[in-house]
């Protein structure tokens, strides 16, 4: 019988895609996917270190796995991802039964590492391999039935944001050759994928290693695949979102009217302490440029509440920015001190309860903004890419608008990957209900040809 693997994943889309690569590698080594964790011959925890709670969850899971290891000593247990990179040998000091610890840019070495385990346990590899962006791209096991595929185009980040552990865990920026990316996209389109999401820690800093072509050229080239309905990319840094990229988004038919653009704070003082490299005014100007070029675009953002030294005035500046710019989605968190970052040494006098109350108030304000945006959209007919059955009612289908918002509706006969025209009939702050409209789809046209005011604008 084949050996079995189990991979548990926490964190961002990059982690999800790294797990797909490791799964593909294990399949190539003769493993099959286990249906139950306790049956697996190898268990990999692909971890996130962006916040302290995510790290704590890893060690909590490892504590539970210790009982399994005692019952089945031959089971290989490994920690991969950002906690592995950040903590290295410390993982095994806390959990000596762990067999291997592999950083994100060493995961492509998994076959070699498993080979070494035959001689001894306790392998730690946190080397920031410079060829990690090349290796492992041909062994990817994507979950069956999906309509969207992730494609890594670059790794790492050269920024020095004072709160962020990513440059430590992911290394410096490194980009894949554009032609290699296009070959992968072509293969995915031939396999039936209808949507591609380009991934990178600072994705709009992408540069072809030889030609230095940027993300704008990649969008134009990928947009030439006629069977590719949608293209997304994440995560963007405001400093690298150039006019050329915005123009490419407006011109490429398949480019979605959606962009995740983290602001982190509305206070210039806090932005300086965070080392973000822009002011609130510059961020507002960038948003205005995007909305001028693509009126129907939906913007999401990240906000950190309770950064060391944040005053009530600083917090209010963030609330004011959210109210003014009206993001369609918000990912917000209480500041989490990360070891090795410069912010970890800053004085922090605010109590946790103050930070939590600020976060709850901010999230409540955002729910009202989203509910208002969604109310203005009722009665519109939108394009929906079907992803599968609705979670709330399996008799219905669920799909995603180009603006990254889910729509649930009765859609008998529709299958994942189908495009549908749907009338929006009801809304919550996070999704829509709709009614299927028969007839040909209206394809996206260049933004410069539109005149209608968008519900997603400020």
Please report the DSSP string for 135-166 in residue order.
Answer: TTTT---PPTT-SEEEEE-EE------TT--H
| Longest CA span, the chain | 68
The 10s digit of each residue's pLDDT in 178-233 is: 999 999 999 999 999 999 999 999 999 999 999 999 999 999 999 999 999 999 99
pLDDT value of position 397: 96
Predicted confidence (pLDDT) per residue in 126-181, tens digit: 999 888 887 767 779 988 889 999 999 999 999 999 999 999 999 999 999 999 99
- Residue 177, judged by CB atoms within 10 A of its CB (0-12, 13-18, 19+), counts as middle
Give the number of other CB atoms < 10 A from CB of residue 187: 12
Separation CA 218–CA 429 (nearest Å): 33
- The residues, any chain, with a CB within 8 Å of residue 329's CB and separated by 6 or more, are 298, 300, 301, 370, 404
| E-state strands within 64-193 | 76-81, 100-102, 123-125, 148-152, 154-155, 174-175
Taking alpha carbons only, the member of 205, 195, 216, 97 closest to residue 402 is 195
Distance, in Å, from the CA atom of 448 to the CA atom of 429, rounded to the nearest integer, reads 29
Residue 239 confidence (pLDDT): 96
Q: What is the reported pLDDT for 341? A: 93
The whole-number pLDDT of residue 119 equals 72
Is residue 429 a contact partner of residue 371, using CB atoms and an 8 Å limit?
Answer: yes
Angle at 177 between CA 176 and CA 179, to 5 degrees: 130
pLDDT digits (tens, 9 = 90+) for 53-72: 888 999 999 999 999 999 99
How confident is the model at residue 452, as a pLDDT?
38
Instruction: Determine the pLDDT at residue 443.
Output: 40
Percent of the chain with pLDDT over 70: 96
Rounded distance between C-alpha atoms, residue 300 and residue 329, angstroms = 5
Least confident of 103-117, 220-234, 280-294, 426-440: 426-440
pLDDT for 440: 42
CA distances to 200, 237, 241, 386, 435 from 234, rounded to whole Å, are 6, 9, 11, 21, 30
- The CB density around residue 14, as the number of other CB atoms within 10 Å, is 23
pLDDT tens for each residue of 79-91: 999 999 999 999 9
Q: For residue range 270-299, what is the model confidence (pLDDT) as tens digits?
A: 999 999 999 999 999 999 999 999 999 999
**Predicted pLDDT of residue 458:** 62
The radius of gyration of the chain from alpha carbons, rounded to an integer in Å, stands at 23
Contact 67, 4 (CB under 8 A): no
Average pLDDT over residues 297-306: 97
């Amino acid at each position: 019988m084949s050996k079995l693997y189990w991979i548990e994943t926490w964190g961002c889309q990059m982690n999800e895609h790294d797990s797909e690569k490791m799964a593909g590698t294990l399949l190539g080594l003769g493993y099959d996917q286990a249906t139950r964790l306790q049956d697996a011959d190898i268990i990999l925890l692909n971890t996130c270190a962006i916040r302290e709670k995510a790290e704590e969850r890893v060690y909590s899971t490892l504590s539970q796995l210790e009982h399994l290891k005692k019952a089945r000593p031959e089971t290989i247990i490994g920690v991969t991802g950002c906690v592995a990179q950040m903590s290295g040998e410390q993982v095994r000091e806390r959990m000596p039964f762990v067999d291997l610890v592999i950083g994100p840019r060493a995961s492509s070495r998994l076959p070699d590492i498993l080979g070494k385990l035959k001689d001894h346990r306790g392998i730690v590899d946190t080397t920031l391999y410079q060829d990690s962006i090349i290796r492992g791209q041909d062994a990817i096991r994507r979950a069956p039935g999906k309509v969207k595929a992730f494609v890594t185009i670059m790794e790492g980040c050269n920024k020095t944001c004072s709160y962020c552990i990513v440059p430590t865990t992911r290394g410096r920026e490194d980009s894949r050759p554009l032609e290699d990316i296009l070959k992968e996209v072509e293969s995915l389109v031939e396999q039936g994928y209808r949507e591609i999401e380009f991934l990178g820690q600072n994705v709009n800093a992408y540069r072809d290693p030889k030609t230095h072509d940027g993300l704008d050229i990649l969008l134009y080239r990928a947009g030439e695949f006629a069977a590719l309905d949608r293209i997304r990319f994440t995560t963007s840094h405001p400093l690298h979102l150039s006019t050329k990229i915005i123009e490419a988004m407006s011109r490429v038919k398949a480019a979605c009217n959606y962009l995740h653009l983290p602001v982190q704070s509305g206070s210039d003082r806090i932005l300086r302490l965070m080392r973000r490299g822009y002011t609130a005014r510059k961020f507002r100007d960038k948003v205005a440029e995007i909305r001028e070029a693509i009126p129907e675009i939906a913007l999401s953002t990240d906000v950190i509440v309770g950064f060391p030294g944040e005053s009530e005035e600083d917090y209010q500046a963030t609330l004011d920015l959210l109210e003014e710019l009206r993001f369609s989605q918000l990912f917000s968190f209480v500041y989490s001190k990360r070891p090795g970052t410069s912010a970890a040494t800053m004085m922090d006098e605010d109590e946790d309860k103050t930070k939590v109350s600020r976060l709850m108030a901010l999230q409540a304000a955002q729910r009202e903004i989203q509910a208002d945006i969604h109310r203005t959209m009722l009665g519109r007919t939108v394009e929906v890419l079907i992803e599968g059955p609705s979670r709330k009612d399996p008799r219905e289908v669920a799909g995603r608008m180009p603006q990254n918002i889910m729509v649930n509706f009765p859609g008998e006969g529709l299958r994942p990957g189908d495009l549908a025209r749907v009338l929006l009939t009801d809304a919550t702050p996070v999704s829509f209900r709709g009614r299927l409209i028969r007839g040909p789809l209206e394809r996206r046209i260049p933004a410069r040809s539109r005149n209608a005011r968008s519900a997603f604008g400020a």
